[in-house]
């Protein structure tokens, strides 16, 4: 199992991790989610013994990672964000090499390679050079390497980036299966639907802290507010704009013109009041959608900072 306590890390005076506490028991899948720069990769790197920490304690199966990283690596499987394979060797040669390095005994190695390749749908590609495989196949092979020695703790950093739907599904199935066999899995991701598909518990990393921790249901119940999504012709009326949460951003992170997501408590009553409050601007309203509470809404609520005012305040401001 994995235990992290009081973990701190700074880069050039900027505190990236502030007092991180996290425990992952055997059989658990913990989804580590956070915006870019929240510290996910720094945390997984420290847990993997690849970076030092300024303070705190990390142990894997009772082995102190910060004092003896190499000893802890026997119990660790890491699939970092970037695919790490030898492109000029075949899939089988990659798995064979890492199997040897990771201590998979020779009499089990061939069987284990076949087993993990089968479960991730790689059997027919094993003799091909990695450089000839598709992005999704490489991503699956990359994850297969991390699972090869059946580690007690599996760290997956955005394992489905660039993977096609089929690859993504195979990866998720195998991660679930892996945890069911007793491994503790830390799954860093941006894709929240995957978290729900995995049935994972959630640790939301925000500004260097675990801002929320629990199963998806409790996080949604506690943090997610229902919301109304309003689409206007032209710009969002000034009174509403400052209360819209980040759901109304375009791909470049800017507030999308004419699109606002407003957290509410009672959608029907609050919508009526918002429309009344819009006055003349109501004529520019083109469509309204009701958003149900979701992990995404909870995540936005936790990470959006000051843009989380509830409908009453919005209504007051508009009226």
Partner 1 sequence: MQSFNESVTRIVAFWLNETRRMRADPGQFIVIVMLPVLMAAVLTPMALAVLRMKGYSHANGAEQSVPGMAVLFSFTSTTLLGGAFFREHLWNTWERLRASPAQPFEIILGKCSPVFVLSLCQLSIVWGVGILAFHLRISGSLTTIAVLNVFLSWATLGIGMALVAVCQSIDQIGIIGNLGSMVLGGLSGAFMPIDLHSSLGMVARFSPLFWALKAFQSVIFDGKGILDNAFTCLLLFGFGAGGFLIARARFRMADIKIGRT
Positions in the binding site for partner 1 (CB under 8 A): 48-51, 70-71, 73-74, 76, 78, 80, 82-89, 93, 97-98, 100-103, 129, 145
Name the residue nearer to partner 1 (CB basis): 103 or 268.
103
CB of 50 to partner 1, least distance (A): 6
Name the residue nearer to partner 1 (CB basis): 117 or 311.
117
CB of 7 to partner 1, least distance (A): 18
- Give the three-state DSSP class for 120: coil
Find out whether 2 and 203 touch, Cβ atoms under 8 Å.
Answer: no
Name the residue nearer to partner 1 (CB basis): 51 or 176.
51
CB of 95 to partner 1, least distance (A): 12
Q: What does each C-alpha distance from 27 to 16, 37, 184, 193, 262 come to in angstroms? A: 29, 28, 5, 20, 38
CB of 89 to partner 1, least distance (A): 6
CB of 158 to partner 1, least distance (A): 13
Name the residue nearer to partner 1 (CB basis): 157 or 273.
157
Name the residue nearer to partner 1 (CB basis): 2 or 76.
76
Name the residue nearer to partner 1 (CB basis): 110 or 255.
110
Q: How far apart are CA 159 and CA 163, in angstroms?
A: 8
- Using only C-alpha atoms, the chain has a radius of gyration, in whole angstroms, of 23
Name the residue nearer to partner 1 (CB basis): 39 or 237.
39
DSSP 233: S
Name the residue nearer to partner 1 (CB basis): 99 or 121.
99
H or E, element range at 58:
strand 55-60
Find out whether 143 and 170 touch, Cβ atoms under 8 Å.
Answer: no
Q: What tokens appear for 93 in the block? A: 């040669």
Q: How far apart are CA 46 and CA 7, in angstroms?
A: 9
Q: How far apart are CA 78 and CA 73, in angstroms?
A: 9
CB of 292 to partner 1, least distance (A): 40
CB of 290 to partner 1, least distance (A): 44
Find out whether 126 and 90 touch, Cβ atoms under 8 Å.
Answer: yes
CB of 148 to partner 1, least distance (A): 11
H or E, element range at 21:
strand 14-24
CB of 14 to partner 1, least distance (A): 19
Judged on CB neighbours under 10 Å (0-12, 13-18, 19+), 283 is exposed
Q: How far apart are CA 124 and CA 266, in angstroms?
A: 54
Name the residue nearer to partner 1 (CB basis): 120 or 153.
153
CB atoms within 10 A of CB 7: 25
Q: What does each C-alpha distance from 113 to 97, 108, 259 come to in angstroms? A: 11, 9, 50
């Amino acid at each position: 199992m994995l235990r992290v306590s009081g973990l701190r890390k700074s880069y050039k005076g900027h505190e990236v991790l502030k007092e991180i506490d996290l425990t992952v028991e055997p059989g658990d899948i913990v989804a580590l989610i956070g915006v870019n720069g929240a510290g996910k990769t720094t945390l997984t790197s420290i847990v993997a013994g690849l970076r030092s920490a300024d303070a705190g304690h990390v142990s894997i199966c009772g082995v102190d990672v910060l004092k003896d990283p190499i000893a802890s690596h026997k119990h660790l499987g890491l699939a970092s964000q970037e695919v790490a394979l030898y492109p000029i060797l075949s899939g089988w040669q990659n798995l064979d090499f890492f199997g040897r390095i990771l201590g998979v005994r020779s009499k089990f190695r061939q069987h284990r390679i076949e087993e993990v390749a089968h479960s991730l749908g790689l059997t027919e590609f094993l003799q091909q050079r990695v450089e000839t495989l598709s992005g999704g196949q490489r991503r699956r092979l990359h994850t297969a390497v991390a699972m090869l020695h059946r580690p007690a703790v599996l760290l997956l950093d955005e394992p489905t980036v660039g993977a096609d739907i089929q690859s993504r599904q195979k990866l998720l199935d195998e991660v679930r299966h892996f945890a069911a066999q007793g491994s503790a899995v830390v799954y860093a991701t941006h894709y929240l639907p995957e978290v729900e598909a995995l049935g994972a518990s959630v640790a939301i990393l925000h500004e260097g802290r675990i801002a929320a921790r629990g199963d998806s249901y409790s996080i949604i119940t506690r943090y997610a507010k229902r919301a109304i999504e309003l689409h206007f012709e032209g710009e969002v009326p000034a009174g509403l704009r400052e209360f819209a949460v980040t759901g109304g951003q375009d791909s470049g992170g800017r507030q999308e013109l004419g699109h606002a997501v407003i957290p509410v408590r009672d959608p029907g009553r609050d919508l009526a009041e918002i429309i009344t409050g819009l006055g003349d601007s109501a004529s520019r309203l083109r469509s309204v959608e009701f958003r149900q509470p979701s992990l995404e809404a909870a995540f936005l609520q936790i990470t959006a900072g000051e843009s989380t005012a509830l409908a009453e305040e919005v209504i007051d401001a508009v009226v």
